[in-house]
Amino acid sequence: MNSPNLAISSVVDPTIDCRTAPRPLRHGARNRRLLIVDDSPEDRSALRWFGESIGCVVKEASGLQEMTAILQGWKADLILLDIVMPNMDGLDIMRELKNVRCQIPLFLMTARHHWLKPAHKLGAAYGLNVVGAIRKPIRADDFKAKLRGAFATWG
C-alpha cells in the first residue's frame, strides 16, 4: 500500500494538465464534468445522484490516488472535495493540488461546519480556484442550487 503522504506529482501522469481552467459554460450544468472526492460511499452515491439530476457527468474517487487516476484520462470541470477524510484529508489534497498549480475549480464540503471558512481561505492562499462550499448533511435542493451557481460563475 502506498503512503497516504505521497505527493500528487508522483502519482499523476506528467502529461495531465489540471492547470488550465475548465471550458466556458454554455448551458447550465448540462454535460459538465463533476469529480466527487469523498471517503463515504453513501455520500458519493447521493452526490452522484444530485449531480446527474441536473445534467452533470459524474465520476467518484475516495481519495487522492483515485482522484489522480481519474484525472489521468478525464478532465473535470469541477472537483467536489470533502474536507474531513481519513489518511489524507481534503486539506492535504488541496496542498497537493497547489503543488501542481491546479486550476480546476473546487467546491468544498464537510460536516464540521467550523472548518469551511478556514478551508476556503486556505484554498485561496494556495492559489486554488475555490468556487463554493456546503455543509453536510446536504439538502438536495440547496446542493443543486449551489452547484448550478458554481457552474454559472464561468459563463
Q: Does residue 78 sit within a domain?
A: yes
The CATH number assigned to the domain holding 145 equals: 3.40.50.2300
pLDDT of residue 26: 43
Q: Which residue has the higher pLDDT, 124 or 151?
A: 124
Q: Does residue 71 sit within a domain?
A: yes
pLDDT band at 139 (very low <50, low <70, confident <90, very high): confident
Q: Does residue 75 sit within a domain?
A: yes
Q: Which residue has the higher pLDDT, 151 or 20?
A: 151
Q: Does residue 117 sit within a domain?
A: yes
Q: Does residue 143 sit within a domain?
A: yes
Q: Does residue 14 sit within a domain?
A: no
The whole domain housing 123 covers 25-152
| H or E element that contains 133 | strand 130-135
Nearest 5°: the CA angle 102, 4, 93 is 25
Q: Does residue 9 sit within a domain?
A: no
Q: How many domains does the chain have?
A: 1
User: Looking at the predicted structure, is the pLDDT value of residue 22 above 50?
Assistant: no
Q: How far is C-alpha 102 from the chain's CA centre?
A: 11
Integer Cα distance of 47 and 43 in angstroms: 6
